[in-house]
Structure 1
Amino acid sequence: MMKEKINIAWLKRDLRISDNLVLDACERDCYPYLIIYIFDSDIIKADNISKRHLQFIYHSIKDMNSQLNKYNRSVKILYGSSTKILKEYLNSYDVKNIFAYQESGIKETYVRDIKIKKLSREFNTNFKEFEKDCVERGIKNRSGWDSRWFKKMNEDITKNIFTLNTFEDTINIFEPPKSFINDISCYPQEYVKPGYKNAIETLTSFLDNRSQNYNKHLSKPLESRKSCSRISPYLSWGNISSKQVYHFLKNHKKTKGIPGFLTRLKWRSHFIQKFESEHQISYRCANKVFEKMKYTNDSSIIDKWKNGATGFPLVDANMICLKKTGWINFRMRAMLVSIFSYQFDCNWKLGARHLAELFLDYETGIHYSQFQMQSGTTGINTIRMYNPIKQSNDHDPNGVFIKKWIPELRNIPVEYIHEPWNMPPLINTLSQDSIYNNPCVNIVESGKAARTKIWSFKASKEVKNENKRILHLHVRNNIRRA
């Protein structure tokens, strides 16, 4: 019996029906096609993937299906091993093409894609992966990368057009367990709402109004929640493409915050490209010599950091806020990493997974590149050691953000909100055992020790020699402004 000829559109971090080359390729070909998303049971158990990520993915797919319904199409949600699932389809149908985007992800996703390439060859199926967000696979250095980024970003947006579907898939053995769907079907109201429409509304409100104070409020923990774009989750999970955002910016009336935002859009691709070119930074130091650095790694301090109970008000408020909402601004993220690695003297690897699970906009390439920059283990970047008390005074001077997220501190006088342990006993209303009477480290002494350690290590000949390799691989030699 002749097998039916079909194509498969395999979605990963490209959960949209516009500017989607995968779906466009299927429509342009002559065969009926199936759109699938696989909740890979091996990958969702891996480090860094958390329930909030799965919730965002699931509701993004629901949004896609509401748009595809009029074409009698939908994204079929599958659960299990990607290799086993696709092998079943290759056995059951004459699959001519599997179309997908490249994914610059954790080791497990890379290994998965290698297996699918091998499997496709065995069945004489073309496995076509499209480049995503101008991140190039297999380049040896960054020569000309910036120019290519602008060229690709200025190309036309793909206008996806859909025909009415008549194909019916008969494979029903990989449906997700009901318990799994029930667990991810609820969606906390504190998170940004998934989907292309919400992405466009968020971007529009930013450009029309909220961007006016973008540069001014970028680092402030409270004000940035309004003045930052807040589109990072949509970019991370592909509800909107970088090219769509770029064109949106180009065609919009110029406002004060747009140039700075455009620069950060390009930097986003830059950091993912760094990871694509050297994915090992997810489990080892970017500068390999820093693997020799010793840390205290006090487990009790690590637990306090994870739970927002360090005794430093701004640190704790940000961790609590992040747990609840899935987002804090860049400077506050940098501060959490900095104090963990420097003043708390903990190896960055022990904190990276925790924050990855909390960031709703978790993007592997950005996460590990930035985590190592803020931990000082790249060897080539400026050491930035954030003092949480200074950051608190600078960016939350009246303690409004702190008091919002730490009820225990709501009645503390403003002059002591950043250092409540300095309150005179007569006005100290904290309980005797409050962590804010005695933070987990002496910030001055621990900071001094950290500076001595990191700078002496960075100055070593070994580190400097390794820096040459890093610079050759990652530094762009023809940076062009937008």
Structure 2
Amino acid sequence: MSGVHVIWFKRDLRVHDHAALMAAAASGAPILPLYIFEPGYWALPEHSRRQFDFVKEALEELDAALKARGSGLVIRTGNAIDVLSEIHRRQGIAAIHAHEETGLQWTFDRDRAVGRWARNAGISLREQPQNGVQRALKSRDGWASHWEAFMRRPRMVAPETLLSAQVQAEDFPLPQDFGLGPDDCPQRQKGGRAAGVECLRSFLEVRGQAYQRQMSSPLTAADACSRLSPHLAFGTVSMREAWQAAQRAKEMHAREGNAEFAASIGSFISRLHWHCHFIQKLEDQTSIESRNLHPAYDGLRPAPEEDDPRLAAWIEGRTGFPFLDACMRSLKATGWLNFRMRAMTMAFAAHHLWLDWKLPAERLAGLFTDFEPGIHYPHAQMQSATTGINTPRIYNPVKQSRDQDPEGAFIRRWVPELSALPDEWLHAPWEAPASVRARAGIVLGQTYPMRMVDHMAAAEEARSRIFALRRNAEHAAEAEEIQARHGSRRSGIPFRGRQAAPKKRAPAPADAIQLSFDLGIIQERRAHAS
């Protein structure tokens, strides 16, 4: 058989609202849905077993959805060019369809190499935008309106039938094949389209009611936040599907007079804007992954060694700051952390420990099931104050503890060795009288670590060093150029704070979820009311 059209799935693991799949099906040629497990990709330090397991679950559902349409997913393991070359030799590839991917430098380089190979082989490589991020963007002016127009386009429903190229799939590789080791994330979110749709449905119908009030505390955020991030990262749900479903839910809650819920969904919608705003930064400048955005900060902090004990204590939740340690231990067990706590953990490494951000950010990435390069690395630089355009924010880990976990429930869950301490001493156990610590069975330095640094003195030192740089006239000139290239145009993107309430205007079975993304929120509520 010759002239097949390959659909190269990467981080777009769904059949609906999939422009590449639709383009291949429209060609009328036999199609070959392909996913490549690339050893080089999984060897990157940002990638981990928890991400691999999430992807595998998503691929199993994707395979079932494709088979229901007549053409199962073809699994291959190896270098992308080697895999595609072998398929071309055996089947003859007429075209490769894929979504544009904004990822690590490794994936940018891989995609460029595949593009060169395809041109030399006379194969058409047809890439489609996926989430409103624009390739080869010349100016941020008008970006937000373009993004919203992309979100408003009709969602694409997957074709009912696909003409198969009849190529046999290989077995899924094992995580051990890539040196990923044992499963170390017992509370990881499940991958797959069905889980993603249910996650969004439950948020828009029930869990998101108090999103604005409860997103900041790790005590409440795990339920109050959408938890859609890994599904957006690996494309089991498209950004457009999430945006349109949220718009419908916001309107419904407003009509029902639920101003709090409508405002919460409005806040969620603004975060979908910001999600892509940050990814656009990496699309426009891939070096954000590896170099300070503002060169004035080059050499400001020392780069830690791989075996730096400070780095190990921080990533393992042994800093001596109970709330920070609880966040890190929770992240290790669940693969997720809310935004404010992500900011605090990264800022602590950069400011209190005074570590260059690159290695801490790399280590953090592997703990996140929802690792999204275009958010993770710009965020790491923002929290480390190396962008030159964001106001430095140095979180006080004790204040955050008292604000976000006043009764210590989160700390006691994840740092049980401190559970017997009274609330008033739990947030800063070094301040507790020795007799109180003794009654609680705590010996600092033995049963629980001593704090790594004097957080107040370390924060003041970091602040003085950073602001000394920012007062330089050359710093301001460079910052203006960075702002022009990467800064948001506030008139076009809602800011990420609270917004005013707008003016008034049952999970589906898995197979139905694959067939459609109409969540049926309005219809279900009417049925329940009758």
| Fold conserved between structures, TM > 0.5 | yes
Q: Which amino acid aligns with 2:55?
A: I
Classify the secondary structure of the residue corresponding to 1:229: coil
2: CA distance, partners of 1:218 / 1:406? 21
CA contact (8 A) 1:20 1:158 kept: yes
CA contact (8 A) 2:277 2:488 kept: no
Q: 1:474 maps to what in 2? A: 486
Q: Shift of residue 403 of structure 1?
A: 0.5
Q: 1:335 maps to what in 2? A: 344
1: CA distance, partners of 2:490 / 2:347? 30
Q: 1:287 maps to what in 2? A: 294
Q: Which amino acid aligns with 2:309?
A: S
* Residue ranges of structure 2 left out of the alignment (5+ in a row): 254-260, 495-530
User: Is structure 2 residue 446 aligned with structure 1 residue 434?
Assistant: yes
CA contact (8 A) 1:421 1:436 kept: no
- Shift of the 471–481 alpha-carbon distance from structure 1 to 2, 3 Å rule, reads closer
Q: Which amino acid aligns with 1:395?
A: Q
TM (normalized to structure 1)? 0.95
2: CA distance, partners of 1:435 / 1:463? 46
2: CA distance, partners of 1:182 / 1:371? 26
1: CA distance, partners of 2:340 / 2:278? 17
1:264-413 matches, within 5 Å, as 264-295=271-302, 297=304, 299-413=308-422
User: Is structure 2 residue 206 aligned with structure 1 residue 209?
Assistant: yes
Q: Shift of residue 71 of structure 1?
A: 2.7
Q: 1:459 maps to what in 2? A: 471
| CA deviations over 1:338-363 (Å, ceiling 9, x no partner) | 11100111100120111110111110
Q: Which amino acid aligns with 1:235?
A: L
Q: Shift of residue 175 of structure 1?
A: 6.9
* Residue ranges of structure 1 left out of the alignment (5+ in a row): none
2: CA distance, partners of 1:434 / 1:251? 54
Percentage of matched positions with identical amino acids: 32
| CA deviations over 1:427-467 (Å, ceiling 9, x no partner) | 21203533746201011111111111111112222321211
Q: Shift of residue 400 of structure 1?
A: 0.3
Q: Shift of residue 423 of structure 1?
A: 1.3
Q: 4+ residue stretches of structure 1 with deviation over 4 A? A: 181-189
1: CA distance, partners of 2:301 / 2:421? 38
1: CA distance, partners of 2:357 / 2:179? 34
Q: Which amino acid aligns with 2:460?
A: K
Q: 1:108 maps to what in 2? A: 106
Q: Which amino acid aligns with 2:268?
A: F
1: CA distance, partners of 2:16 / 2:182? 24
| CA deviations over 1:211-248 (Å, ceiling 9, x no partner) | 11111111101111111111111001001001001110
- Shift of the 398–138 alpha-carbon distance from structure 1 to 2, 3 Å rule, reads same
Q: Shift of residue 289 of structure 1?
A: 1.8
Mean alpha-carbon deviation: is it higher for 288-297 or for 363-372? Answer: 288-297
Q: 1:259 maps to what in 2? A: 266
CA contact (8 A) 1:16 1:239 kept: yes
Aligned residue pair count:
479
Q: Shift of residue 293 of structure 1?
A: 1.2
Mean alpha-carbon deviation: is it higher for 357-366 or for 90-99? Answer: 90-99
- 1:84 is aligned, of 79, 82, 85, to 82
Q: Which amino acid aligns with 1:62?
A: E
Q: Shift of residue 92 of structure 1?
A: 2.0
1: CA distance, partners of 2:316 / 2:184? 22
2: CA distance, partners of 1:10 / 1:116? 11
Classify the secondary structure of the residue corresponding to 1:480: coil
Q: Shift of residue 193 of structure 1?
A: 1.3
Q: Which amino acid aligns with 2:264?
A: G
Q: Shift of residue 30 of structure 1?
A: 1.4
| CA deviations over 1:95-127 (Å, ceiling 9, x no partner) | 111000111111111111111111111121100
User: Is structure 2 residue 432 aligned with structure 1 residue 423?
Assistant: yes
2: CA distance, partners of 1:477 / 1:171? 47
Q: Shift of residue 88 of structure 1?
A: 1.2
1: CA distance, partners of 2:304 / 2:363? 15
Q: 1:162 maps to what in 2? A: 160
TM (normalized to structure 2)? 0.86
Q: Shift of residue 160 of structure 1?
A: 0.9
2: CA distance, partners of 1:171 / 1:191? 28
1: CA distance, partners of 2:318 / 2:182? 31
Q: 2:115 maps to what in 1? A: 117
CA contact (8 A) 1:6 1:34 kept: yes
Classify the secondary structure of the residue corresponding to 2:42: coil
Q: Shift of residue 425 of structure 1?
A: 1.4
Q: Shift of residue 64 of structure 1?
A: 1.2
1:22-171 matches, within 5 Å, as 22-169=20-167
